[in-house]
Every structure is written in C-alpha cells, then in structure tokens.
Structure 1
Amino acid sequence: MSAPAPRTFAEFFAGIGLVRLGLERAGWEVRFANDIDAAKHRQYEGHFGPDESFVLGDVHQLDASAMPDVTLATASFPCTDLSLAGGRKGLGGAQSSAFWGFHDVLKRLGGRRPPLVLLENVPGLLNSHGGADFAAVLTALNDLGYRVDPIMLDAKWFTPQSRLRLFVIAKAVDDDDAIAPEELTPSQLRPAALVDFVQRHPEIIWSCAELPDPPAASSDKLADILEKLSDDDPAWWSDERAEYLLNQMSPRHRADADAMIARRRWTYGAVFRRVRRAPDGEKRSMAEMRTDGLAGCLRTPKGGSGRQILFKAGYGRYAVRLLTPRECARLMGAGEFTIQGSNNDALFGFGDAVCASVLTWIGDNYLNRLTSECCSPRQLELFCR
C-alpha cells in the first residue's frame, strides 16, 4: 500500500471542529470528519465552510470503505457516562459506548488503518469502574496493533480556563524516545495517579514518550478575555436577579464577593450554581465562585446549571451576567471562531469541545515528530501485515 500524506487526519466526534482548529495550527490537514449532532455540524460549517468530507451520522453506521487514507484518527468520544452527571455508566452507557463504534471503524479499515490515533476524554475515564474502562480502551487499541501513551493536559496552561483532560496517543510502531513504564515518575503531564495506572498494568503495551514541559500557566486571566459590554447592555442581569445570586453564596463565597465589592477597582469571579446539602440537611442550589483569575470548566448548559456566570464587582457595586459565546470561544483557544446560530447552540458547542490550544501543543510537541517515524512506507508495511 502507499503511505497516506503526512499530517493528514480524520476527526471523529468532531463537534464544532476545535480539534481541527488546533491541529491545523500545527500544520495538519483534515480529510474526513464525523459527528451525529446537526446543530454542531451547522456551527462547524459556519466556521470552516461547506465540506463534503464531513459525514453527519452515527459512528456505528459509518462506511469505513469510503474513508480516505490518513495518518491520524482523532476521537473525542462522549464523556457523559464517565461522569457523575451520567450516572457513571462507563463505556457501557448509551453515549460513551460510542468509543466502540470508533474502534469498529478502525478495525474495518484493516490495512488502511491510520498509524496514529489520538483519543480525548475527561479524567474520570482513568477511574471509571475501578479503571476497568480505561484498561479496556487501551487493550482494544493494543489489539489493533497500537502501543499507547496516556497524558493529561489542562487548558489553564494555555487559556484562563480550568479544564483538565486525558489524552491517549496510540502509535503503530514503538517510539525511539519511549520510557520504560517502571522508569516513569510523576510529572506535569503524567500525574501520580496516571503513572500508578501504567505501572499496575504491565499487560498493556505502553510507549510513553519523553516530552517537554507544557507552559506552567496561561499568561491571560479571566479579565483579559472579557468582552467590553456597556453598563446598559441587556446581557447584564436585573438588580433583583443579581442580588438573588449573591444571596445564594455560602458564607465563604459571600465574604469573597463582599471583599471584591469593597475594592477601588473592578475585579471578576466565575460562578457556577451547584446543588449542595445545607447545614439543615436540605439540598439547595448554591452559587460557588472562583476568584483566582480562571474560569471554571465550560460545560454544556443542560438545565441551566452548566451556564457559567460572570460576577463583576468594585467601587461598592456589583453586576452579574452569563459568559458570552465569544468569551467561551476565547477560553477554548478559539477566539477567531465564527459564531453562528443561537447563544444556546454556541454554548453547547464550546462546552462539549476540546481546547484548541491544547491540540496545537500536542501537534507541535508530539504528533509532528511521530509523523517521520510512523508514516514511512516501510513502517506502514510492517504495521499492516
């Protein structure tokens, strides 16, 4: 067989296309994309334009024979069933089981299987069902001929958003820079829990690369990505609604808010509403605010609780509104993204996406080096036997 063009990829569970956006910055070219969500597809096309390589539909029903040859397949498969919100059903859940649809596509590609695979999901995958789900994912990749390397990256190293994610880079050939599992030590990219998992599973075929340290923190803070809205912009909540939020805060968060209000400058906090058990034993909605210059992890705004709220305070005053879609785009490393459709569609799209800046770092510091090692005709011939 002939080798696919270097730095070409197929993007599964593409969403609005932020994996594509991040990898394109690192010199990669998309040849195929797939997602089941029509609203996200419209946003994808709103930014990238109409693209015949995008197939809208269920990953379980894709025609593998119609897929082009590529160097890399990416899969940000649904995380819902790996979280508390999804009842921690794991890979057997209705949504997160989509991984097996992706795996089946790789299997059916046979000799045209990409020499590189990149998975992305929430850190909860590491511990789902006592680690059995993560082991099943890695073993399934091993069974297709891939060696695996898990790493964790946080969006806060690149943008002012706390968003830790688990990535797996799967390679058709061994990596000359691989570290023996027993020699791994905890690091920024591989924290202690991840190293422990690797070392407790010698049956998995690992290939953990030596990698540079990512940035320690983003140079931007929450205030730096905010849109400049006038005081009378309708996005700001009414005084009554803002006061209600303030009164939902626990004593600790209320003290932070009062201190911000008293300052002789504007400062900003990011607020989520969460259901907590009060001292009287009753469950109630509480407003929790972080004031460290970071937004919390963007989420899909299901039921309203996932909407992130901006708290602006100073000079004896305060004001409250939701983060705008443009601000969410900036937090996802996609400030230039063309936003179309309703605000709700945009917030869903960004809440489900991957931080584009993280993907650029992975491309520049990992995938680009691997293309010269995994994509030669000789290596592909060995892999596809």
Structure 2
Amino acid sequence: RVNEDTLPIALHHGSLDVAQRRRVEKAMGENALRAIVATSTLDLGIDWGDVDLVVHVGAPKGASRLAQRIGRANHRMDEPSKAILIPANRFEVLECRAALDANYLGAQDTPPLINGGLDVLAQHVLGCACGAPFRADDLYEEVRTAAPYVSLDRPTFDRVIDFVATGGYALKNYERYARIRLNKDGLWRVSNPRVAQQYRLNVGTIIEVPALNVRYVQAGSKGAASRGGRVLGKIEEAFLETLTHGDTFMFAGKVLRFEGIRENECFVSNAPGSDAKVPYYGGGKFPLSTYLAEQVRIMLDDPQRWKKLPEQVADWLRFQADKSVLPKRDDLLIETFPRGNRHYLVAYPFEGRLAHQTLGMLLTRRLDRAGARPLGFVATDYALAIWSLGA
C-alpha cells in the first residue's frame, strides 16, 4: 500500500494535471507537507527556503544538474544545501562521486560551443517568413550576429534557403514542401497561410512524445458510458501499449486498473493491491554528460581515488582488474565471452546511452553482414552489450 502511515507527502511530476501540481506547490509554500516526491519539474525556479534536505535517487547524469537539484535545499545565501545521493548500482556510485567532486571544484559540464545546426537555421528561416517577409541579405547578416553562426558562409546559407523553398533535391517535385517563395520585390514570403499555421503548431527541435489523458471511469467500463470522470494527468503512449485490460499501474500516488483506450484517452479505475507496474517516461532517460563520463574514466584509472568510494565498490574494481582489465583514461575496453549457447561482446565506451544506442544499431548490422548472427543489444550510459548465437 502506498504511504501506509498517511504522512503529508505529495507527488510532483510533469505528467500530472496542472491543477494538481499547483495544489502541491501551494501546500509546500504553506509548509503543509513533510516531503515531495518529484522529478526534474522542481529543478529550477523554486525558492523554498524551508526545504531541509534533497534525497536524490539514482545518478545525476551531470555535475550542473546535481548542483541545481541540491540547491533546492536551504535555498538561502547564508546556509549550505544538504542532500543524500542514493545510487542504484556500482557504476552510479562512481558517477555520484565524480559529480560531487566536480561540485566541490566548482566545475561545470556545460557543452562546448559548436557551430549552429542547419536544421535549426532552416526552422528559423521559415519562422521569419511566417512572421513577416524578409530579404535574404538582411537575414544572413542577422543570423551571423549569433555566436554559433558567426562563421556561416553565404553559399551554405543560400542552400538552406533553397531547402526551405523547395524541400531539397529529394522533395522538390512535391508542391507541399515549397514552403516559401521569392516574390518580384525580392522578399521571401510563405507560400500558403497553412504553412504558417503548421509551423506554429510544430515549432521546435524537441521531439514531442505522444501522451494520453488518464481519466477515471467505473470499474469494468471502457469509457463508452462514462466520459465525465476526473483527469489525473498524462501518460506516454509507449507505456500504455504494454498494458492489457485489467493490468494495474502506479500513477498520481494511486494504484490504478487499466480499463482501456479510446481516442486520445486512457481509462482507469481504482484497484487494490501493491503489485503494480511503474510508468516510464522518455524524458527520464537523461544522457550522461561528456564531462562526467570523462571523470568516471579518470577515476577508474586512478586507484588512489578509490579511497573515497564505498569498500564494496573498491573491491569490485579490484576484482575487475584481477580477472580482466580496467580501461585507462583513453582506452576502450571490449570483453568477449561465451555463456550458455550464446556469445557476448561487451564494450565500455562511457559515452552515454544515446551514443551507445546508435553504436549498438551500427554494430549489430555489421555483425549480421559478417555472419555473426547477432540477436540483440542493450545500451546503458557506461557500456554496450551485444549477444549472438554460438558458433
């Protein structure tokens, strides 16, 4: 059962209904709560000086992110912030230690400034045309005042303009991809008012994950008869697709029974018991920052720094060094071994989950071409494992 002692504890998550989140924030501001179980929705913009402690579950994935979250406690100029970090595995212990050391040194994991992306520039060009007609010369000079585009050459800029105007070489024969047109007065304008409408609905480079409203109905109803129940919030469609009628899951601090999906809504009812699934969200998969990954590599290569680690973790590293190899700072460790009727390849690039996912897809394709019969792969922030049938 959730919160068996009925303590004044609340939940705060981006998927919850806005009104529910506002009630929680108001109660916290009035000191009516003992604790809030929250995600990154409370990372910034909250100035509650009466928060005594932050309990961070899992690895922070970045030194700056950890500093932001710890800073929610004792948010005053004259008091130190306090936090407890709870790593979920040995690798996360290394990551937490590296993030703490970085904060003590005042180091940040801000990514280096790189040249601006052409996809972002293409969106900006179309956005300017939606706002008002523009001259290419004027827009080029304006874009180059932004630091990421200061070295943008004119031929590249003109190719971006052409891409927005025609859809590029692959789509130039399709009228709907001709989003802007050059008029006789030398001004670029949107080709159709619908283009501006579509742009305003879809502007941005952050991919939107489909989510469905979670609405109460009577048990056994699939929503056909009861459409007036309260909306608890939203859940990503990818999670809901894993459920069958009657499955239970946790949401908004309750155990809910999945009744079905209709249109853009998921229908639920209250359910007893505690053996329920926990929803997962794509936004929870923060990649490991480059700076923190580098610090973990340095820690693996320096046994003197193991003294700050729990004894179980230090023993684990010594065991790895004895039975296999601990990678040096600039090394890539790859282990291969048989287990059962399968063969495994495990690489430790320490480049983050996103890079490892891409590498996993590439390697499985190459191994398949080589006749190694790969069956699948799994990627974490620290390693990539691929398995195949035995020879």
Whether the TM-score (by the shorter chain) exceeds 0.5 is no
TM-score, normalised relative to structure 2? 0.28
Structure whose alpha-carbon radius of gyration is higher: 2
TM-score, normalised relative to structure 1? 0.28
